[in-house]
Structure 1
Amino acid sequence: MSTPYQQPGSYASPIPVRGAHLGDALASEWTKIRSVRSTIWTLSVMIVLVLGIGLAVAALVSAAGESAELGDESVLGMGFFGILPGSICVMTLGVLTISSEYGTGMIRTTLTACPSRGRVLTAKAAVFFLLVFTITTVTTGLVAVMQNAMVEAGEPTGDEWLRATVGVGLYVASLGLLSLAVGGMLRHSAGAITTMIGLMLLPLVAAMFMFSESLQDVQEFLLAWAIPSQLIGIYGEAAAGGSSGPIGWEPVWIMLGLSLVALGGAYATMSSRDV
């Protein structure tokens, strides 16, 4: 008995088939970011730096005793010394989260599985941001509690606690998101990491060599708005040294806005060129 001719591609799988959505992309990016060694190494080094430097500074101030002259000033600003080098680790991870896929060619597999480039970038940004924000907030919270217990100083207010933990976590995660966007636009790990480190340090270095009186306004602007100055400003006006730069929550919203603008540029770049 002859079997009827079957048109090619007419096979119907008994397994239910559904269209992919953002949740699938999020699950894929979470699997990737937690299974690569760069994530473990960069975040581990960040935690060691934030904890180690933060507690070392607190121990030195505590040993100095009354000579430190803290008075009623909060000790939470000392967390800056550890979070500054730690943020470089986050910037590195942000770049590698996307640029490493271009370097290895893995991005072709990613975009084959999920042709929507906007969905891929959204998933990468969301997973990275939430991971860094959570780890940074927990780490800075632990450092803040231990510093406050080690050093005799004024009791921080609720807003100071919030800015030193959640505020710093948001700022560092936004800085990492900016790095991810730059990595997506440049598609080169070394170039993007160098660009981000230059963005962090170059304004301060340039300002140090502006001796001319005609450049004084430019020097003050660079000193007040550089990334390290913004990090200091999150801890409060006293920690920022009375500069005219952003203070309190302002640096957080500025960095978040910059990262969203850069992410928009990464969307446009990914959508307008081939892999």
Structure 2
Amino acid sequence: MSTPQPPMPQTAAPNWQAAPGASYPAYTSPIPVKRTHLGNALASEWTKIRSVRSTMWTLGVFVVLVVGIGLAAAALVSANAGEGELAGENPLSFGFFGLLLGIMCVITLGVLTTASEYGTGMIRTTMTACPTRGRVLTAKAIVFFVVAFSVTLASAVLVALADVALLSDAREPSSSEWLKGTVGVSFYIALIGLLSLVVGSVIRHSAGAITIMIGLVLAPLVIALFMFSESLEDLRQALFEYSIPNQLSVFYSQSLTDTGPSGWDPLWIMLGVTAAAFAGAYVLLEKRDV
């Protein structure tokens, strides 16, 4: 029959296991802790957009297209126009051709600003660092809009000044035409890029979102060109009037049609469409997993 063993003596717990109390105050991190806000998200998104190669490539190609084609068109017209033929022309209108092609670059950058993070998985890190998803989308939108507007405005102003100098026989643009041909068109193109950013957030696939946006720009005009039936005349006219190329031409007072949007109407239309898309993207972002 075995003899019962005496109980083992209790040993004091080491300091690192001792319960916190008056003798062991709570640990305080030496790293300062502050409440995050939208400014922190803006700083993060600015660091992203200026540090990736896609930004430099897309904006670089955009500037080359806008400035190069705008100057080339004005120089070609100036060299072949007879005396007095340009008397009634708005010299700013020759910037239209470069901006129409440059839209593709702005669309690409807008989509990549959001969709590329879903493709690489970086969006999980972003949402972990900033759990407030709406703040992330808002910061991306603000940073992208400022960048797109600034680059477009600088390019449009450069082309406008050069075209006025090249086409000395053309009439002098009015102050409202200067405003629409520089600031107005820059706002419009930046809004198209912002709509692309929102579509990228919804689709979460770069190629798919870029395809959708290019279709939105080109499809209405191309479809209208092949509508020959008289029964479709009203639809054909509407597609012409509200196509993005026609709306872009309105900023230079040379609408491709005699009816449809005029003045600042294209800007308000694009602003309403972008705001509605942004609201939908915000709701989806809050409901879906990243």
* TM-score (norm. length: structure 1): 0.95
Q: For the residues of structure 1 that align with 2:90 and 2:141, how far apart are their CA atoms?
A: 34
Instruction: Tell me if structure 2 keeps the 8 A contact 1:49–1:82.
Output: yes
Amino acid paired to 1:24: N
Structure 1 residue runs of 5 or longer lacking an equivalent are none
Q: For the residues of structure 2 that align with 1:77 and 1:251, how far apart are their CA atoms?
A: 16
By how many angstroms is 1:6 displaced?
4.8
Instruction: Tell me if structure 2 keeps the 8 A contact 1:233–1:245.
Output: no
* TM-score (norm. length: structure 2): 0.91
- Tell me what 2:278 maps to: 263
Deviations 1:76-110 (A, max 9, x none): 11111000010110001000000000000000000
- Tell me what 2:5 maps to: none
Could you say which structure has the higher helix fraction?
1
Q: Is 1:81 the counterpart of 2:81 in the alignment?
A: no
- Tell me what 1:22 maps to: 38
* Bigger Rg over Cα: 2
Structure 2 residue runs of 5 or longer lacking an equivalent are 1-11
By how many angstroms is 1:190 displaced?
0.5
Stretch deviating more after TM superposition (13-22 or 124-133) = 13-22
Q: Is 1:144 the counterpart of 2:179 in the alignment?
A: no
Write the mapping of 1:85-96 to structure 2, written as runs, cut at 5 A: 85-96=101-112
Q: Is 1:50 the counterpart of 2:45 in the alignment?
A: no
Q: For the residues of structure 1 that align with 2:25 and 2:102, how far apart are their CA atoms?
A: 54
Deviations 1:138-194 (A, max 9, x none): 110000000000012000001100111100110000000000000000001010000
- Tell me what 1:105 maps to: 121
Instruction: Tell me if structure 2 keeps the 8 A contact 1:76–1:144.
Output: yes
Q: Is 1:177 the counterpart of 2:189 in the alignment?
A: no
By how many angstroms is 1:3 displaced?
3.9
Q: For the residues of structure 1 that align with 2:30 and 2:112, how far apart are their CA atoms?
A: 40
- Tell me what 1:206 maps to: 223
- Tell me what 1:243 maps to: 258
- Tell me what 2:211 maps to: 194
Instruction: Tell me if structure 2 keeps the 8 A contact 1:174–1:255.
Output: yes
Identity, in percent, stands at 59
Q: For the residues of structure 2 that align with 1:258 and 1:158, how far apart are their CA atoms?
A: 28
Stretch deviating more after TM superposition (252-261 or 137-146) = 252-261
Write the mapping of 1:150-161 to structure 2, written as runs, cut at 5 A: 150-151=166-167, 152-161=169-178
Could you list the runs of 4 or more consecutive aligned residues of structure 1 that deviate by over 6 angstroms after TM superposition? none
Q: For the residues of structure 1 that align with 2:117 and 2:279, how far apart are their CA atoms?
A: 19
- Tell me what 1:273 maps to: 288
Distance 1:222 1:32, change over 3 A: same
By how many angstroms is 1:247 displaced?
1.6
Write the mapping of 1:55-74 to structure 2, written as runs, cut at 5 A: 55-66=71-82, 69-74=85-90
Stretch deviating more after TM superposition (256-265 or 218-227) = 256-265
Q: For the residues of structure 2 that align with 1:231 and 1:6, how far apart are their CA atoms?
A: 70
Provide the alpha-carbon RMSD of the alignment: 1.8
Q: For the residues of structure 2 that align with 1:23 and 1:254, how far apart are their CA atoms?
A: 30
Amino acid paired to 1:190: A
- Of the three residues 219, 230, 238, the one matched with 1:221 is 238
Distance 1:12 1:155, change over 3 A: same
Q: For the residues of structure 2 that align with 1:25 and 1:10, how far apart are their CA atoms?
A: 31
Instruction: Tell me if structure 1 keeps the 8 A contact 2:133–2:285.
Output: yes
- In the alignment of these two chains, the number of paired residues is 273
